[in-house]
Amino acid sequence: MDNESNLPLTLVTIDRASSSTTLSRLDGKGAWRLSAPFVFEDTSVVARLEFSPALAALLVTTLAGDQILFELPLQKAGDPPEERLVVFLDQNQWSTLSNTCHDVQKSSEEDRAAGRKLKEWVDQRRIILPASSSHYFETGKRFSTEKRYALGLTILQYSRGWQMRHPLQVRRNELHDAFCHRMGQPGSTRSASIFTLDPDALFSPIEWTASGLPPTLLSKLAFHPDALVAAFASIDTMLDTERVGEGPDTGWTAVSQRFSDWLDELDQDSQQKRRAIDIHIITDLQRELAEEAATAGVPTELFRQWGSKGWVRAIGDSPAVGLFREMLHSRHLNKGTTWRRNDLTDMLYLSCAAGYADFVICEKHMRDPLQHGLKRMGRSTQVYRRLTDAVAAIEELLEAPSPAVSHAQ
């Protein structure tokens, strides 16, 4: 007789209504329940979780009956396969996509057709539409619980667990690697993909002290348990019925406005102003520059000798932070620029996405400086303002004999 304890699990179901966790055997001859119930918060809309260690997939059903499928990494963090294109949507584009799914009166037939194509390509695993921490934050701020749920559901269903690593972590990784290369130590660089299934990626690295899952279950998982916990937490957080606040005002907008106004009054050419902007950027990033140089093993005296020119070179040669610098140049050099509170978030996330994705779709006031920066840096990411235009370009690339993807590292 086979040893039943050695039979691998094929399906784990956590049901809210019955307060039960059911484990099913691979041979289909039975299932049993764990005594420890899974705890749901009152504001959670999750009704049931189903996941298969063998398939590395999580299926969540909400109280409204909607379903969300998340891919999970096997053992190590998952990176985008090279045959998949990475398409990053700004928050306004996610809203457009949500309307095509949940509010037909607010969407055009053109947009609905584009939305159907994107869903088809996602399901066929031909493209990735990664979510970012900004998408979670911006969605959580919406006042209407109904619209917040619809938007969050759309982001979760289309992203399927794929996420963009937090831009501040990407920035640190880029600076660290730039210093490593300058020191002639390429073997010391960090290998952290920008678009990933890594459970640590979305909000920045997290030390998981407890997974919340029964110990008897953890030993049977073929994939890393942190990935399962992070996936469920991401879904539960995005759909939570409690609205999040606006967050504190960091003062960045006011500082940027004063600096732009000061530049407008200077009797200098654009190159002189660019140098002033670079000094402004270095001042803002001085702590990150110093810390990542130290982590890369740069001697303090050598770091000082490199000075501002060396630091600017480290910034300018890096895909994400280099594009961020170019966007700052573009906006500060544009006389009469008015800075808004959300501009920092937009620039930070869009520059990170455009540094590594194949397509970025965003609003015109961010698209123009982003395109200008990409051109100056010689990068190939395609940037669009309209969902329909981007979908046409994506389709053309997908139908090409051998699509070239820029996110592979």
Q: What confidence score (pLDDT) does residue 53 get?
A: 75
402 pLDDT above the threshold of 80? no
Q: What confidence score (pLDDT) does residue 222 get?
A: 45
58-104 pLDDT per residue, tens:
999 999 999 999 998 865 545 666 689 999 999 999 999 999 999 88
- Reported confidence tier of residue 213, pLDDT bands at 50, 70, 90: very low
With a pLDDT cut of 70, the percent of the chain lying above it is 86
Q: 371 vs 186, which has greater pLDDT?
A: 371
- Reported confidence tier of residue 6, pLDDT bands at 50, 70, 90: low
Q: What is the mean pLDDT of residues 103-110?
A: 91
Phi, psi of 15 (to 5 degrees): -110, 125
Q: What is the mean pLDDT of residues 212-220?
A: 38
Q: What confidence score (pLDDT) does residue 407 get?
A: 54
Q: What confidence score (pLDDT) does residue 28 get?
A: 66
Helix ranges restricted to H, 73-108: 91-102
Which token pair is 313? 């070179």
Q: What confidence score (pLDDT) does residue 322 get?
A: 96
Q: Which of 345, 320, 342, 348 is nearest to 406 (CA)?
A: 320
Q: What confidence score (pLDDT) does residue 217 get?
A: 38
Helix 319-333 vs helix 252-265: crossing angle, to nearest 10? 50
Please report where in the chains the tokens 């050099």 appear, as a residue: 333
- Reported confidence tier of residue 220, pLDDT bands at 50, 70, 90: very low
Which token pair is 396? 């053309």
Spell out the residues 6+ positions from residue 267 whose beta carbon is closer than 8 angstroms to its own: none
Q: 360 vs 55, which has greater pLDDT?
A: 360
Q: What is the mean pLDDT of residues 380-389?
A: 96
Lowest mean pLDDT among 127-141, 182-196, 222-236: 222-236
Q: What confidence score (pLDDT) does residue 101 get?
A: 92
Amino acid identity for residue 185 in this structure:
Q
Distance between CA 367 and CA 347 in Å, rounded?
Answer: 10
Which token pair is 322? 């280099």
Q: What is the mean pLDDT of residues 362-385?
A: 94
Q: What confidence score (pLDDT) does residue 203 get?
A: 80
Which token pair is 361? 């779709």
Q: What confidence score (pLDDT) does residue 221 get?
A: 42
Which token pair is 41? 């918060």
Long-range CB contacts for residues 240-248, cutoff 8 Å, separation at least 24: 240/41, 240/43, 240/44, 240/45, 240/140, 241/43, 241/44, 241/45, 241/145, 241/149, 242/43, 243/140, 243/141, 243/142, 243/143, 243/145, 243/148, 244/137, 244/140, 244/141, 245/141, 246/141, 247/137
Which token pair is 35? 């005594």
> Mean pLDDT in the chain?
87
Q: 29 vs 366, which has greater pLDDT?
A: 366
DSSP for 171-235, written as a single string: HHHHHHHHHHHHTT-GGGS----SEE--TTTTTS----S---S-HHHHTT-SS-HHHHHHHHHHH
25 pLDDT above the threshold of 80? no
Q: Which of 156, 129, 141 is nearest to 236 (CA)?
A: 156
Amino acid identity for residue 57 in this structure:
A
